[in-house]
Every structure is written in C-alpha cells, then in structure tokens.
Amino acid sequence: MRAWIKINQPIINLDYRELAEKMWFNFYLDKELELSHGGNSEWLKDSYTLDLKWDKSLNDKRWIQKKFATEHISLNPIRDNKFLYIETDHIHILTVDKRAFYIMVQELATVVGGFISLDGMKTWFSLKEFQQKYYALLSMSFEEANERSLKEVETLECVDEPWDNEVIYD
C-alpha cells in the first residue's frame, strides 16, 4: 500500500512510540506493544523518516510462523520535503496493518495540514474526506482487526510492493 501527503505545515511534533500505540495498541493480552522501529521521534521531526513494525508473534502467539507476521510501514520525504510518502512491504495487507497504515496517514496529515493521495498523486482527499471514506477501518478496534487478520492470513496473497518510488535511500 502507498500513500502521499502534501506538507503544508513542515513541523512534525509526534512521538514515534505514541504514534505506534495509536496505530496498534498500548497493551494487549497484558503485554506492552512489541515494536521494531527504524528511526525515532527526532528522526521523524528532523528528517520525516520512520519505519515501524508490530512484532505480532511477540504479543500474540497465534502469529508464530504465519505469513504476514511482519509488515513494515515506512515513512520518507520526497520532492524536496514537499510530500510525505508512506508505504508497506506488500500490495495487499491484513486488516490489522491496513488499520495501522490508515491511522498513520491520518495522524501525519493532521500534523502537517496536508491532503492525502492513495493513487500516485492523481486525486487528493482532504483529511475529513479521508476520515469519512475510511471510517470503518479507522474506528475499528485493534482486537477486531487482529481477529479478522488471523482469518485473512490463510487466504491473502503475498505480493511485494514494487520498489518504483521517489525515495532517495542514502
């Protein structure tokens, strides 16, 4: 999955851990969120770069040895820091990760006052339009998304997201 956000206010004052907890959870099955991350709050603020991954099997043993047990959600700046680019590892992702992806998009668009595109910057949503269109996922509980995903994982096709993007990897 991919999303683009036009940056109108170039300051991102988000804590990466708080963002991740909004995307997934604080506590689940009496455990804190097990999170792998590339970058931190400082990277997010200074370079608009962050990579988050919920380590599913460390919080829920039912994820052990399942495909899609990991899904990175990565943020990078493009076009001279005028846009944020967010992508996942796979084209089709599980509900639990799609929910997290859309929450990240919503939170970042809120902070930068930006418009959102999900189709390669051909069409744009205001934040309100995005929230209305994806209300069902944005309002779904983590627990419901996780349970759905444990069923989806059995049939969802694993197709990698192509590497044709504008990100400059240093």
Chain segment 62-108, per-residue pLDDT in tens: 999 998 888 999 999 999 999 999 999 999 999 999 999 999 999 99
Identify the pLDDT of residue 163.
Answer: 77
Q: Is residue 92 part of a domain?
A: yes
Identify the pLDDT of residue 168.
Answer: 76
Q: Is residue 162 part of a domain?
A: no
Q: Is residue 123 part of a domain?
A: yes
Rounded CA-CA distance 85/105 in Å is: 10
Q: How many CB atoms lie within 10 A of CB 81?
A: 11
- Indicate the pTM of the whole model: 0.95
Identify the pLDDT of residue 166.
Answer: 85
Rounded CA-CA distance 10/134 in Å is: 25
Lowest mean pLDDT among 17-31, 70-84, 99-113, 154-168: 154-168
% of the chain exceeding 70 in pLDDT: 99
Asked if residue 2 lies in contact with residue 163, where contact means CB atoms within 8 angstroms, the answer is no
Q: Is residue 78 part of a domain?
A: yes
Per-chain mean pLDDT for the chain: 95
Asked if residue 77 lies in contact with residue 86, where contact means CB atoms within 8 angstroms, the answer is no
Rounded CA-CA distance 157/2 in Å is: 17
The total number of structural domains that make up the chain: 1
Identify the pLDDT of residue 20.
Answer: 97
Q: Is residue 21 part of a domain?
A: yes
Rounded CA-CA distance 104/74 in Å is: 10
What distance separates the 2 farthest-apart alpha carbons in the chain? 43
Q: Is residue 68 part of a domain?
A: yes
Mean pLDDT of 2-15: 96
Q: Which residues contact 109 (CB under 8 A, 6 or more apart)?
A: 5, 115, 116, 127, 130
Lookup: tokens for 69: 């047990």
Mean pLDDT of 45-55: 96
Q: Is residue 22 part of a domain?
A: yes
- Domain, as residue range, for 91: 2-152
Q: Is residue 120 part of a domain?
A: yes
Identify the pLDDT of residue 121.
Answer: 96
pLDDT grade, residue 170 (50/70/90)?
Answer: low
More confident residue, 4 or 164: 4
